[in-house]
Structure formats: C-alpha cells, structure tokens
Amino acid sequence: MRRESVKAILRGALPMGSKVEVCGWVRHRRDSKAGVSFIDLSDGSSVADLQVVAPAALGNYRDEVLHLSSGCSLRVRGELVPSPGKQPVELKAEAIEVLGWVEDPETYPIQPKPHSLEFLREVAHLRPRTFLHAAVARVRHTLALAVHRFFDERGFFWVNTPIITSSDAEGAGQLFRVSTLDLLNLPRTPDGKVDFRQDFFGREAFLTVSGQLNVECYCLALSKVYTFGPTFRAENSNTSRHLAEFWMIEPEIAFADLDEDARLAEDFLKYLIQCVLEERREELEFFAKRLEPTVVERLEQLIEAPFERLDYGEAIAILERADHRFEFPPRWGMDLQTEHERYLTEVHFRRPVIVMNYPEGIKAFYMRLNDDGRTVAAMDVLAPGIGEIIGGSQREERLEVLDRRMAQFGLNPERYQWYRDLRRYGTVPHAGFGLGFERLLCYLCGLSNIRDAIPFPRTPGSIAF
C-alpha cells in the first residue's frame, strides 16, 4: 500500500476505491452520534485537511481513537470514498496506528482554532503546524524556486558569495563579529588593543551584510549573475520590517544602466507575483480569509499596470505640493521618510513606485555619480504597505570617481583593492539591486510582521529557537 499525500488525494489524483496509507497529524476530532469519529488529518502538503472516518468497529476505537487530540501523529490505512459532506473525498479508515500521542492535550499550544501571531512566535517550533504558518512556508518555498527560475530563464548564474567577510560592504549597518578568540582572555598587542592577528583568519571577520561587492567580481566575468542567501545586520532595530538574519537576492548585470536595472526589478517582481498567483492560489485565498481580504486583487492589479517611475526631485516636488502635513517636511537633499514613502505609494499613486536618481550625499559610495554632479544613479522600489522593497543602483565604474567617492566617505582604499581592481582591469558599466526576501513574502501573503515570514526569526534579544 502506497503512502499518499493529502494534497494528491484531495486534488483527485487517485480513483475512488483506492486503498491508501496516509500519515500526518490530527487537527481535530469530532465524534458523531452514529458511533463514528471524524478526524481532520494534516500532513502539511495542502491548505485543506483530509477527513478520516473512523468507524467504531476499529479494534482500537474505544481505547485510542476516542482519545485522539490535536497534534497526535497517525498512520492511517483505508479506502478513498466519496464524502456525503462538503469535501470531495474522505478516507474510510480500516486501521489507525497512533505514532505519537500528545502528552498533555490541555497545554499543547496548537489548538484547533485561530491563534494570535504574537502567541505563535513564542512557540516557533510548533507554529508550522498551524494552517497559516504551513501556508507561509509553502509560499516561501515556491517563491524561492521562482527566483531561481526567473534568473535561469534569462541566462543569469547563481553565485554563492561568502557569509563570512572581512570588509563591511557599504559601511552601512552594524556587523556581527566572527571570532574564535577567547572572549574572557583576549590576546593583546603591546599597545593594549585586541590582537586579531591571532584570530582564526589573522584579522577581523564579520558576517556579511551584503554579497554585492563580491558578486560584482563575477558580474565582470559572467555578465549576468545573482546571489541569494542569508544576510546579517546587527542593527538594534525593533520594527515589524527588520530581522537580524534575513535572506537577500542581489542580481548584478554587466553593460547595463539604471534604466535597465529598474526594468529588471519590475519584471522580476511581476514574475514572482505571477508565479505565486498561479501556483499558490489556495494559500493566497486562505490569507485573504485570515489576514487581508483583498490580497489576491491587490496582486492581480499589481502585475497589470506598469510601476510608476519618477526622479527623486519629482518625488520631492509632489510631496511639497501635497495637501498633507508631514512630521518631516520634504526638502531636496534629505532621504525619504517612511511617511513620505507611504504618501507616494498609498495616497498619491496607489501602486508601486520606482524613485530614481537620489542626491549623492545620502547614498552609498559605489553608486554611479550622474553628470549633474549632485545625484547618483540609484533607485528604490517602494510598495504600498511595506515601503522600500528593493534598493539598487548603477555602480561607479570609473576608478578616479570611485576613489574620490571613497575618500569622501572616509573609506580606506587599501581595504578595497580587490574591488578597485575591477575598475582597473576591463571595467564596464554595470548595475544591480537588492531585494529583501522576507519583505517580499510579507507583501505577497498580506503579513504585517516580518517575524512571521521566516521560520525562526532573529531579532535583538531574541534567539530562543
């Protein structure tokens, strides 16, 4: 007898009358006056559960079946039959083997009812057993595959950039230190500083905050590349949009300018949304029921219309003209505040917006200086409800300008020799962007807290699992 998934059975992959084995966890048990019990069985393969019908004639009916509670694991053998109830098919059990009991049903955290997301974060090891988190996990999986498929179809190569690095990629963000030194007995140099020459790598090392600088090296050889992996920021930021450990996607294209970069970003987002709409419809409809009623319509609208594109200067002008009181009055030269981004995406345009060509003073050193001398070829994709979802730029490919910018930002050129080499040996125009995977997942699922978009969230002061 073959073990079948709940998903395969519910979508009608097997004919009625088939004898099957199904394994999974009890969601809920209902006993009927007819002397049979109904068990909703979940194996995580689909949103819907399989209804198992357990007749009283089963040898272990009275002693075991009648005591099954939420979370018990089962192996069920039986026959697929049409259901008189609301589901198309149910499993008429001929044998139910209890693989694992729930020690104390009263304190088992996952009850057959909706829980608050806040509570479920306290039981992150068990929350994948809920409808919601199982659905998020499946969407996350589908989304990750779609990322690779998108790039593969367009001739991009996936480059695995290092997780342990020695340089802070952008001078942005606090770093997690990586060290094997004994914290309680640190080796010192004669002048009293920590002697990192005795550390594992012979110098200071950190967890990466971005794979961009490394992936640029491969871009200037393979032309179209991307990274997709974990990224770490030790910022003490306590918001619903930040994680200390998150996954980032960073494509980099040679011979491209900012315009092509923005086009890629838009195509990429639309491709991913299209995939989820097609391949995870059931999950989206569940999110619509539980999280955000209009999630499907919102995504459908999003792939239909072109994103709004405008220069940073135009954005500031719109904000200055706006009939709206901002806590921080907009002014050319300042970065867009959260309230400004929200106004643009949620009030003014009501769709994603790509803001381009920011003042050079507020952006990173590697972004290409425009001919006006006061802006850089940077772009941010802003989405309603979530803010900045993509940040990208054309990179500065001219060595003398790059050196000037590094000096302006107070960076030591010696630490970036290998990065400068890219400009010394066959430099080319190139551009890329970074996309926060969990932020995108929030946007697609209608989640409002990023801690629900990653299995085991890491945030300041929280690493229980």
- Residues 139-198 touching RNA, rule: CB under 7 A, are 170, 172-173
Alpha helix positions (H), 235-366? 258-279, 281-290, 295-304, 312-321, 338-342
| Other residues' Cβ atoms within 10 Å of the Cβ of residue 425 | 8
Residue choice 18, 60, 179, 462 for contact with RNA (CB under 7 A): 462
Q: Residue type at 275? A: C
Place of tokens 């997942």: 441
Q: Which of residues 257-296 bind RNA (CB under 7 A)?
A: none
The answer to the question of residue 45 lying near RNA (CB under 7 A) is: no
Q: Which two tokens stand for residue 181?
A: 């030194």
Strand partners, 253: 224, 431
Q: Which two tokens stand for residue 218?
A: 């491969």
The answer to the question of residue 325 lying near RNA (CB under 7 A) is: no
The answer to the question of residue 372 lying near RNA (CB under 7 A) is: no
Give the nearest distance from C-beta 121 to RNA in angstroms.
5
Q: Which of residues 292-321 bind RNA (CB under 7 A)?
A: none
Contact (Cβ atoms closer than 8 angstroms) between residue 25 and residue 71: yes
Of the pair 36, 196, the CB lying nearest RNA is at 36
Give the nearest distance from C-beta 248 to RNA in angstroms.
6
Residue choice 24, 352, 434, 446 for contact with RNA (CB under 7 A): 434
Q: What is the rounded CA–CA span in Å between residue 337 and residue 327?
A: 9
Of the pair 48, 317, the CB lying nearest RNA is at 48
Binding mask 326-355 for RNA (x = CB under 7 A): --x------x-xxx-xx-------------
Q: What is the rounded CA–CA span in Å between residue 225 and residue 361?
A: 28
The answer to the question of residue 107 lying near RNA (CB under 7 A) is: yes
Q: What is the rounded CA–CA span in Å between residue 152 and residue 146?
A: 10
Of the pair 200, 328, the CB lying nearest RNA is at 328
Classify 329 as helix, strand or coil: coil
Residue choice 94, 105, 163, 309 for contact with RNA (CB under 7 A): 105
Give the nearest distance from C-beta 263 to RNA in angstroms.
17
Of the pair 18, 337, the CB lying nearest RNA is at 337
The answer to the question of residue 211 lying near RNA (CB under 7 A) is: no
The answer to the question of residue 18 lying near RNA (CB under 7 A) is: no
Residue choice 236, 294, 301, 417 for contact with RNA (CB under 7 A): 236
Residue 234 region by backbone torsions, left for phi larger than 0, else alpha for psi between -120 and 50, else beta: alpha
| Other residues' Cβ atoms within 10 Å of the Cβ of residue 459 | 17
Number of residues that bind RNA (CB under 7 A): 73
Strands 36-42 and 19-31: antiparallel
The answer to the question of residue 458 lying near RNA (CB under 7 A) is: no
Of the pair 50, 253, the CB lying nearest RNA is at 50
DSSP string, 333-397: TSPPPHHHHHIIIIIISSS-EEEEEEEGGGS-TTBPBPTTSSEEEEEEEEETTTEEEEEEEEB--
Place of tokens 């409809």: 285
Question: What stretch of H or E contains 401?
Answer: helix 399-408
Burial of 190 (0-12, 13-18, 19+ CB in 10 A): exposed
Of the pair 67, 154, the CB lying nearest RNA is at 67
Give the nearest distance from C-beta 59 to RNA in angstroms.
18
The answer to the question of residue 405 lying near RNA (CB under 7 A) is: no
Of the pair 107, 180, the CB lying nearest RNA is at 107
The answer to the question of residue 125 lying near RNA (CB under 7 A) is: no
**Residues 6 or more apart from 406 whose CB is under 8 A from it?**
365, 413, 416
Of the pair 5, 212, the CB lying nearest RNA is at 212
Of the pair 101, 349, the CB lying nearest RNA is at 101
Which window, 34-42, 149-157, 216-224, 397-405, contacts RNA (CB under 7 A)? 34-42
Q: Which of residues 75-104 bind RNA (CB under 7 A)?
A: 83-87, 90, 92
The answer to the question of residue 230 lying near RNA (CB under 7 A) is: no
